[in-house]
Every structure is written in C-alpha cells, then in structure tokens.
C-alpha cells in the first residue's frame, strides 16, 4: 500500500490549481483532508446539488467546512480571491461554470501567493486558464474485484504541470489513515 | 435637606393612554374602544370619550357593548406597545426635570423640585405640559403637591395643585380611594363610614392600625408627607454613538480612517465597560455640502476590539465620495449584544488567533455577498438523508465540533432532488439511463429501508417507504438509487465519493 505523496500530491501550496471530471469534488475533499484546517467552498447559489455533510464527514470534520453561495461567477472569483489573499483558510475551493480567463487565473495565483493558501477551481472540461499551476482530471473507475464498499476507485490524471512531470494514478480513499493510497489499476 | 426649597412633585395620569395611542395613528370619529381577551371573553379595556358618553365602561363584555352601541369601533389592545409608548413619554418628560419615574401602567411622576422657575413658575409649567400633551392628542390629568401620594391623589381625583405646605386642606375632601389603597380596603373603610381622607386623618390611629394593618396609615402618612417616599428615575439605556466634527474638511482615505480610528477607540472603550459587543456599525460621513453617506459594517460576531474592527471598514470607506471634503464623522453601533469579558489563557489565545482571523474573513466576504450566504452544516436528528443536517449562517451559529456525524451506513457526497429513471421491479435495473448517460450496473449493495417521518409532512416522501441501493456502475460512478415499493418507481438521489 503506497500513499500518494510528494512531489505530485498535494499540489504546490500557495498556488491555484484546476480539476475537472466527474470525480472533481472528491479530489477537493481529499485535498482538504490532506491540508487540514478549515475549508471554504465557494459556489453559485443556484446549484441544486446539495453537498452532504454526512457524505464528507469521513474526509473532514463538517465543523471545518464553510459554504459561500454567490450570485454569479464574478462574485465567486471575488470571494475566492479575498479568501486566498487573507490566508485564514488553507484551502479555498471554487466551483466555476464559465471559462476562466488569463487575467482572472493570474489574479488567483497572485492572491494565493500573498495569502500562502491553496486554491482549487472545479471547472468544466476545456474551460481552464493558462495560469493554473496544475490541472487534474479525476474520474471514478469500476473495480470488479474490490469487495470493500466505502470508497470508489478513482483515476487521477495530471494533465498539466508547470513545474514537474505528468502522470496517472489509480487511487482509493483509505478511511483509517485518512489518506489516498495508490493501487494498481482495476483488473490487473 | 435644603431649607429654602420645599419638595414639589407632579403626577401625570393618562386615563386613556392605550386608546389615545391608537387614535393618534389613525384618527377616527365616533365611539372607539380597545378590547382585551380575559379568560376567553373579550372585554373593553380602554375607551375614548365618545364611547364613555354612550354609557360604556372599561371591563364591560364586548358583546354587551356592541349591543348598546352598534357603531362602536374596536381594535385589540397591544400592551407591550403601550408600555413602550409610556417609556417614550417618560423620556419626553425629562425636558421638565431630570427626575422622572413611571407610575403604574398609565402614569408618570416628576420630581420638579427647583425646576419650576425655569418655565416661569408652577402654573405656567403645568399649562405648558397640558398644551403639549393636548397637541399630541393625549388626554391627561395633572396633580401637583409636596408629596408623591398627594400628587397622585390630585391627578386621579379632581385635578389640582396643592400649595406648598401641609396638603391636608386640599386632600380632605377627596375619597379614601385616592390614597392608593386596594379595592377591598377601600370598601371596608367606606363601610365604617370613613369616606373622605379628612375623616381618616381625624380618626384615632391605633384602632385603624389594628383593624387594617400598617398599610392604610403608611399611605396616609405618605400622602401627608409624614413618611418619605422617593421617585425612582429610570436609567437611560447606554447610547453607543459618537461623533466628531472637524474644523477643516478632509478627503483622503487615510485621514478618514484615522478619524474613524479615534471614534472607534472611544466607542469600544464604552462597549467594553458595558460588556457589550457591536454587531452592526454605521459610519455616517457628512460632507461640507450637507450631503451625508452611510457606511454599514455587519460583523460576523460581536466585537469590541478596535484593532480588529478598523481594517474591516477599509473597503466601505474607500467607496465614499468625498466631494468637496468631509467635515463630520459619526460612528454608531446600531446593533449590540452582550459580550462578556473572557479570561485570557494560553490555549484560548492560540485558538482565537486563527478563529478571529476566520471571523474577520467572514465579515469581509459577508460585506460582499451578504452574511446569510456564508453557511455551515449542523447535525440534525433524523434518518431522512436530506433532513439529517441543518444549514445555518456561519455568523449566527456555533460550530459543533466532534458532533455525531458518522452514519452506520455510507452516505453519498452529493444529494439532489430524486430524478426518476425508467426501471421496474424491486431489484436494481441492469441498465438504465440517467442524465443522458447509459449506465450498466456492475454491483449493487442494499437494500437499506428508510421510512418517512409521518410526524413531519413532506411532499417528497408522499411515495412512502424507500429502499436505498448503492449501485456501482461499470462506467465508474457510484450512485444512490431508491425504489419505492408502495408506489413502484426508481429514482437516483445521490452520488458517492
């Protein structure tokens, strides 16, 4: 059993990263668990899907989680920038639905650098900005052999990395150690 | 005390305070009364003069009153509002003297010793009071005497002024009820033939004390000034507002911040002495052209720490248009709540360091998107997945650390409104389409039966029992499906991590 660790995970602190794919939220919670401390989740107030505290309690204590409902993407970005610059929370997650321009991406990087906290943008495919430090694609994978029932096998692919190599990992959340562990791909 | 000045007390009685207050708002013509529900019966509580002239009286059942006077207009009484109105009047009455107290539910008592000459003598002062109250639409009866008891008696029975000195000559024709005695005692005294205060004063004291206890004589002595009785003024609530007028107009943000900083130091010192914390602060900036702008700051928690509040004002003050310059700053804590001083320990300082920073961040974000839009989850006691947690604003709730979040069964990371899929039978479908994806079931775990909470009606649970299945699709996603056996159908409600 191998724990997914540096230099790839957690991605560089004091930077903003991007993640997309159906498993993006899980990536965000794994990162929150890894960084520890409070987590601020910024999303559009119209989002009908409810984040379930009973569902993410294995990752982080719901007392450490705060949710900001914003009016539009501009507001989401403003709130995220303010929180990143302040540095009171180690991780700011922002759920975005529109393409992120280079200017906005760069401002988020500068804010993260000033506040020494990590930003994570949940984006749709192909809507990232060139300023992102890393970009990940996360998707759940079916594992016909695994009998455990408390976590899904995920395929995390590092699609873009400004300062390092790319890679693909098959990971699974380990409840006991509160870490993601790297496992061989399904069916091999 | 002082030989030169004798004590003078004014008693104001508003016999129709409640109805006058309502009629001030919406003047009506014709008989009007306020009703109060006492032991399941509506009774008249307070009437205007026209209603009294029709032969109605307070305490009368409302249905009788309507029979006597079909065009009677009524409204229900609002006692807390009346109380607030009386406090307003008390505050107004401090224009005559600083020593104003309440007298029951519908009266005021003023100790005007040494204040009458400011209004040109006693008569002119009373005329002034009567004029102003009449203009405000309040009927009032005023009594003035050397003692509180005598002033009360005169206000309630035959309005007048007892000249300085012994009040007995004025009081002796008044009925014994004017001594603030209970109904029972009054009746008993009248049965003995003691109808007037004069009769009572000339009776032997020892048998009276034996028959009625010390109360009657105490009230008599208080009215005649042989026993002291004080007027207790109410303390004004502390006012958390401070202003600063500048000799020269200013316009730079740094200067305005410096001004606000000075005001904040004074205000916070005042808050700290009262053990209060500000929740909402308003800075009013007045420009030289008399235009003024408000900058409101809503705090995520009550604070009285100037170093923490000041940086939070930066964003709001930067948006102020200074025009030709600002010459007055006013800082007002519009909403305050108790904030007890806490002992500083090593543990609390290290903990509060980051918590305080987080609260300041919430305040700043709240200024942008509204404090109620920053939420946190609190545990709730329910098996229904969507009701097993509460959503509360961060600013108005406390985080419950170490709460019992762990469910016996795994729960999905995201929940959504149940989305119907085409399938039938109690076993999970082999293939199904969901959100325009065709999915194949790889493994299904379940069922877990959850029954609706019949004590809380919920439209979503009209379909009855639910059998929840964790379905792992070969496409990767792990979904939370449920089947409703009482009302056959399959739905997707969540997705697992």
Model confidence at B404: pLDDT above 80:
no
Query: For an interface test with A, which of B352, B360, B365, B473 has the most A Cβ atoms less than 10 Å from its Cβ?
Result: B365
Whether A182 and chain B come into contact, CB under 8 Å, resolves to: no
Q: Would residue A175 count as lying in a domain?
A: no
Measured between alpha carbons, how far is residue B176 from residues B148, B170, B190 in Å?
A: 16, 13, 8
pLDDT (0 to 100) of residue A149:
59
A63, A75, A140 member nearest B478 (Cβ): A140
Angle between helices B205-212 and B183-191 in degrees, nearest 10? 130
Q: What is the CATH number for A113?
A: 3.40.50.300
Min Cα distance A5 → chain B (Å) is 20
Task: Collect all residues of chain B within an 8 Å Cβ-Cβ radius of residue A37.
Answer: 354
Contact B366, B395 (CB under 8 A): yes
Compute, in degrees rounded to 10, the torsion defined by CA atoms B69, B70, B75, B76: 70
Query: Cis link prior to A7 (omega < 30° from 0)?
Result: yes
Min Cα distance B416 → chain A (Å) is 5
Query: For an interface test with B, which of A63, A76, A173, A187 has the most B Cβ atoms less than 10 Å from its Cβ?
Result: A63
Window A:136-155, CB contacts with B under 8 Å: 139-142, 144, 149-152
Q: pLDDT by residue for chain A (188 residues), tens digit each? A: 566 666 788 888 899 999 999 999 999 999 999 888 899 999 988 888 889 998 888 889 888 899 999 999 999 999 999 999 988 899 999 999 999 899 999 999 999 999 999 999 999 988 888 899 999 999 998 887 765 556 778 899 999 999 888 889 888 888 888 888 888 776 55
The helix or strand, by DSSP H or E, that contains position B277, with its residue range, turns out to be: strand B276-287
Model confidence at B346: pLDDT above 80:
no
How does pLDDT run across B55-66, given as a tens digit for each residue? Answer: 898 889 999 999
Q: Where in chain B is the domain with CATH 3.30.70.270?
A: 1-236
DSSP one-letter string for B45-66: EEE-HHHHHTT--TT-BHHHHH
Model confidence at B403: pLDDT above 80:
no
Q: Which residues contact B323 (CB under 8 A, 6 or more apart)?
A: B287, B288, B289, B291
Whether A52 and chain B come into contact, CB under 8 Å, resolves to: yes
Burial bucket for residue A28 (CB in 10 Å: 0-12, 13-18, 19+): buried
Min Cα distance B272 → chain A (Å) is 26
pTM of the predicted protein model: 0.68
Yes or no, beta carbons of B412 and A69 under 8 Å apart? no
ipTM comes to 0.90
Return d(Cα A120, Cα A32) in angstroms, integer: 10
Range of the domain at A120: 2-137
pLDDT (0 to 100) of residue B1:
46
Q: Would residue A183 count as lying in a domain?
A: no
Q: Where in chain B is the domain with CATH 3.30.1490.100?
A: 241-338
Return d(Cα B254, Cα B78) in angstroms, integer: 50
**Kindly report the CA angle at B92 between B87 and B96, in degrees rounded to 5?**
125
CA atoms A19, A22, A26, A29: torsion sign:
positive
Mean pLDDT of B351-378: 82
Say which residue the tokens 């700043």 belong to: B364
Q: What are phi and psi of A119, to 5 degrees?
A: -110, 145
pLDDT (0 to 100) of residue B327:
92
What CATH homologous superfamily does B241-338 map to? DNA polymerase, Y-family, little finger domain (3.30.1490.100)
Task: Collect all residues of chain A within an 8 Å Cβ-Cβ radius of residue B415.
Answer: 49-50, 52, 55
Number of domains forming the structure of chain A: 1
CA atoms in the 13 A half-sphere facing the CB of A67: 19
Say which residue the tokens 């439209």 belong to: B459
pLDDT (0 to 100) of residue B442:
87
Task: Collect all residues of chain A within an 8 Å Cβ-Cβ radius of residue B446.
Answer: none
What CATH homologous superfamily does B1-236 map to? Reverse transcriptase/Diguanylate cyclase domain (3.30.70.270)
How does pLDDT run across B242-266, given as a tens digit for each residue? Answer: 999 999 999 999 999 999 999 999 9
Measured between alpha carbons, how far is residue A90 from residues A31, A35, A84, B113 in Å?
A: 10, 7, 8, 67
Task: Collect all residues of chain A within an 8 Å Cβ-Cβ radius of residue B399.
Answer: 63-64
Mean pLDDT of B111-127: 91
Contact A150, A176 (CB under 8 A): no
Q: Would residue A173 count as lying in a domain?
A: no
Measured between alpha carbons, how far is residue B146 from residues A172, B11, B149, B341, B460 in Å?
A: 90, 11, 9, 46, 73
Q: Which residues contact B492 (CB under 8 A, 6 or more apart)?
A: B416, B418, B419, B421, B434, B479, B480, B481
Q: Would residue A147 count as lying in a domain?
A: no
Yes or no, beta carbons of A53 and B405 under 8 Å apart? yes
Q: Would residue A67 count as lying in a domain?
A: yes
Task: Collect all residues of chain B within an 8 Å Cβ-Cβ radius of residue A82.
Answer: 361, 364-365, 368
Query: Cis link prior to A10 (omega < 30° from 0)?
Result: yes
Biggest CA–CA distance in chain A, Å, is: 47
Model confidence at B144: pLDDT above 50:
yes
CA atoms A15, A19, A24, A25: torsion sign:
positive
Query: Cis link prior to B44 (omega < 30° from 0)?
Result: no
**What mean pLDDT is reported for chain B?**
88
Return d(Cα B442, Cα A169) in angstroms, integer: 22
Return d(Cα B263, Cα B329) in angstroms, integer: 8
Q: Kindly calculate the radius of gyration of chain A based on its CA atoms and give it in whole angstroms.
A: 16
Contact A180, A58 (CB under 8 A): no
Q: Which residues contact B369 (CB under 8 A, 6 or more apart)?
A: A68, A69, A70, A71, A75, A79
Residue of A nearest to B414 (CA): A51
pLDDT (0 to 100) of residue B440:
92
Whether B400 and chain A come into contact, CB under 8 Å, resolves to: yes
**Which of A149-158, B24-33, B423-432 has the least mean pLDDT?**
A149-158
Yes or no, beta carbons of A48 and B445 under 8 Å apart? no
Which residues pair with residue B444 across a beta bridge?
A: B471
Which residues pair with residue B415 across a beta bridge?
A: A50, B494
Window B:428-487, CB contacts with A under 8 Å: 442-443, 445, 470, 472-478
Window B:333-392, CB contacts with A under 8 Å: 354, 357-358, 360-362, 364-365, 368-369, 373-377, 379, 385-386, 388-389, 391
DSSP one-letter string for B388-425: SEEEEEGGGS---TT-----SS---SEEEEEEEES--S
Contact B271, B301 (CB under 8 A): no
Angle between helices B205-212 and B214-224 in degrees, nearest 10? 130
pLDDT-based confidence at residue B410 (cuts at 50, 70, 90): confident
Long-range contacts, stretch B249-256, CB < 8 angstroms, 24+ apart: B249/B287, B249/B288, B249/B324, B249/B325, B249/B326, B249/B327, B250/B322, B250/B325, B250/B326, B250/B327, B251/B322, B251/B325, B251/B326, B253/B314, B253/B317, B253/B318, B256/B285, B256/B317, B256/B320, B256/B322, B256/B326, B256/B329
Q: Would residue A45 count as lying in a domain?
A: yes
How does pLDDT run across B154-211, given as a tens digit for each residue? Answer: 999 878 888 888 888 888 889 989 988 888 999 999 998 889 999 888 888 899 899 8
Return d(Cα A88, Cα B330) in angstroms, integer: 31
**pLDDT more than 70, % of chain B:** 96
């Amino acid at each position: 059993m191998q724990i997914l660790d540096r230099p790839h995970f957690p991605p560089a602190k004091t930077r903003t990263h991007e993640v997309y794919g159906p498993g993006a939220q899980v990536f965000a919670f794994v990162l929150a668990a890894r960084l520890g401390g409070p987590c601020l989740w910024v999303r559009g107030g119209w989002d009908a899907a409810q984040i379930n505290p009973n569902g993410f309690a294995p990752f982080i204590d719901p007392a450490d989680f705060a949710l900001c409902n914003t009016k539009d993407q501009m507001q989401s970005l403003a709130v995220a920038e303010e929180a990143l610059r302040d540095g009171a929370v180690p991780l700011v997650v922002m759920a975005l639905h529109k393409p992120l321009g280079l200017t906005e991406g760069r401002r988020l990087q500068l804010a993260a650098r000033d506040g020494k906290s990590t930003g994570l943008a949940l984006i749709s495919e192909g809507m990232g900005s060139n300023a992102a430090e890393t970009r990940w694609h996360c998707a759940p994978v079916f594992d016909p052999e695994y009998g455990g029932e408390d976590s899904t096998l995920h395929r995390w692919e590092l699609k873009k990395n400004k300062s390092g190599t790319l890679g693909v990992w098959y990971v699974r959340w380990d409840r006991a150690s509160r870490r993601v562990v790297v496992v061989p791909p399904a069916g091999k | 005390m002082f030989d030169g000045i004798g004590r003078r007390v004014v008693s104001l009685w508003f016999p129709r305070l409640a109805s006058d207050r309502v009629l001030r708002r919406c003047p009506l013509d014709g008989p009007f009364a306020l009703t109060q529900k006492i032991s399941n019966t509506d009774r008249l509580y307070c009437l205007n003069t026209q209603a009294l002239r029709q032969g109605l009286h307070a305490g009368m059942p409302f249905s009788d009153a309507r029979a006597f006077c079909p065009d009677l207009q009524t409204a229900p009484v609002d006692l807390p509002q009346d109380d607030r109105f009386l406090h307003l009047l008390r505050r107004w009455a401090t224009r005559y003297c600083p020593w104003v107290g309440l007298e029951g539910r519908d009266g005021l008592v003023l100790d005007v010793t040494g204040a009458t000459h400011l209004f040109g003598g006693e008569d002119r002062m009373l005329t002034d009071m009567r004029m102003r109250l009449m203009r405000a639409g309040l009927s009032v009866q005023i009594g003035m005497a050397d003692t509180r008891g005598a002033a009360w008696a005169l206000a309630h029975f035959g309005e007048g002024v007892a000249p300085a000195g012994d009040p007995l000559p004025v009081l002796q024709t008044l009925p014994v009820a004017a001594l603030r005695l209970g109904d029972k005692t009054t009746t008993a005294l009248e049965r003995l033939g003691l109808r007037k205060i004069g009769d009572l004063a000339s009776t032997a004291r020892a048998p009276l004390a034996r028959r009625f206890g010390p109360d009657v004589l105490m009230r008599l002595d208080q009215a005649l000034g042989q026993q002291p009785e004080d007027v207790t003024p109410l303390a004004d609530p502390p006012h958390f507002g401070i202003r600063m007028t500048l000799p020269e107009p200013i316009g730079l943000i740094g200067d305005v911040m410096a001004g606000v900083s000075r005001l904040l130091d004074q205000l916070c010192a005042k808050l700290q002495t009262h053990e209060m914390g500000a929740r909402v602060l308003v800075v009013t900036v007045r420009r030289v052209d008399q235009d003024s702008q408000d900058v409101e700051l809503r705090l995520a928690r009550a604070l009285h720490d100037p170093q923490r509040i000041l940086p939070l004002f930066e964003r709001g003050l930067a948006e102020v248009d200074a025009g030709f310059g600002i010459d007055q700053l006013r800082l007002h804590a519009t909403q305050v709540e108790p904030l007890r001083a806490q002992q500083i320990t090593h543990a609390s300082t290290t903990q509060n360091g980051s918590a305080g920073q987080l609260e300041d961040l919430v305040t700043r974000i709240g200024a942008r998107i509204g404090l109620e839009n920053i939420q946190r989850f609190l545990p709730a006691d329910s098996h229904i997945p969507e009701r097993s947690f509460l959503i509360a604003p961060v600013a108005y709730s406390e985080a419950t650390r170490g709460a019992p979040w762990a469910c016996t069964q795994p729960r999905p990371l995201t929940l959504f409104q149940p989305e119907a899929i085409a399938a039938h039978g109690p076993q999970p479908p082999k293939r199904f389409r969901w959100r325009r994806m065709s999915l194949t079931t790889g493994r299904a775990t379940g069922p877990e039966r959850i029954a609706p909470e019949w004590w809380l009606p919920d439209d979503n649970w009209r379909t009855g029992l639910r059998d929840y299945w964790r379905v792992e699709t070969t496409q990767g996603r792990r979904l939370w499906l449920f089947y409703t056996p009482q009302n056959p159908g399959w739905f997707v409600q969540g997705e697992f991590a």
